[in-house]
Amino acid sequence: MKRKLLFGERMLLGDETEPFNTVIPFRLRGSFQEENILKVLYELQEKHPWLKAVIKYDENKAPWFEVSKEKLIIPIRIVSREGEEDWQEESKKEWHTLFNPQKQPLMRLVWIKGELVSDILFVFHHCLCDGGSAMTLLHEFLQLLDNLSAKISLENPILGIQDVIPNEILTSRKQQFKAKVIGQFAKTVVQCIPIKTKTINRQKDYLIHWKLDKETTSELIFYCKEHKITVNTFLCATLLKAFEKVRKEKAFNKVSCPVDIRRFAPQIKDNHIFAFGLMIVVSLNKKIGFEENLKLMQKAVEKKTSKLNPYITMMVMESAHGVITKFTNLLKYGKSSNDCMFSNLGRIQIPYQYQNFSLENIFSPSVIGPLGNTTTMVTSTFRGEMDFSFMGSEGYLAHSDALAIREELIKMVKQQIESLAVL
């Protein structure tokens, strides 16, 4: 079984010389054996063929996912658990550890082993799967860890663009012409843009983690409902204000937000291992107040989201494989034009109590890669608590500024909640 990597996946894969890894940390209370964890990982591979895939190149040097004929074991690295924050140091270590995609699976596991409590990291090459796929794999891993006989549905893997785009669109001459025209224009623009030969010195990468307690999380959600906005919009607005307060004239007033393609392409199921994403950019209107901005931003988000067309976007991108290197270099060497990427996984609906152990925590994923500005914030909500991972690099955003942005964001959240209580 094999399939050619899509344009976006090729972009994330790169040339295999620089890591682009996603880390999903979670905390378990219970006792485990390495042999059992290996069995669980093997079962996951049996249910999801791409977990047994390596990267192969054809005669045109195009990469393919190809299920290996040899038995490939997902590697486990075990370290002793010394403290509550070991997972953060191990996460940063995993950011910088290359996969060997032509010989090994694009997933590995780190077990930070304690007597009663263990922290486990799922590590994926970002070209393999997105956050939604990772959460499905985590849920299945926990079910199998509790009961190896648990029934996990067999993935019917995506084998190409034809499995995502409806045939009536993919074969439509009108849509093909539209994609060709847009794609040709995009390729021409990419070819004409001059590229620097030197990247910005990223310097030291960092990870900042914090949580909002259950009460604050609940009040934040209530605030958003009262103002008829999404939590995502509220957090984007507070993040932009925090950047403005800390960075002043250096702030770009732009946050890019991934949008789950599954909302628009029902062919992509929850258990599909897939890494293609859509994106919108949001900004504040500096001439109006915060609450007015929330309403305006919500309308802007809804308008931009409604215009997203995953099918034509994919068709355009698939016509642009000839400029993949140039496009990747533009991202890598180009000047940053946004403050941050912000991703909200929302409420994680994975049970926390099992027969043989309990899932104490799921920490928000972290990701860092070589394609330009690394500043990223990811949030998720598990067991009623909103969790934040804020990652970046000194060369793009000083660690001291990132800490100040965190404090400003927390302060603004509390101020807005309190303002609602006064009314």
Q: For the chain, which domains are there?
A: 2-153 (3.30.559.10), 203-304+336-422 (3.30.559.30)
* Average pLDDT in the chain: 92
- C-alpha 87/C-alpha 26 separation (Å) is 9
Asked whether the beta carbons of 262 and 270 are under 8 A apart, the reply is: yes
Banded pLDDT at 421 (limits 50, 70, 90)? low
Rounded average pLDDT over 120-148: 94
Judged against a pLDDT cut of 60, whether residue 78 lies above it is answered with yes
Handedness of CA 217, 223, 225, 229 (dihedral sign): negative
pTM of the model: 0.94
Rounded average pLDDT over 147-154: 93
- C-alpha 282/C-alpha 284 separation (Å) is 7
Rounded average pLDDT over 332-336: 80
pLDDT tens digits for range 48-69: 999 999 999 999 899 999 998 8
SS3 144: helix
355-365 burial, b for 16+ CB within 10 Å, e for fewer? eebebbbbbbb
Portion of the chain with pLDDT greater than 70, in percent? 99
- C-alpha 351/C-alpha 29 separation (Å) is 14
Portion of the chain with pLDDT greater than 90, in percent? 76
- C-alpha 314/C-alpha 306 separation (Å) is 16
Identify the pLDDT of residue 381. Answer: 97
Judged against a pLDDT cut of 70, whether residue 224 lies above it is answered with yes
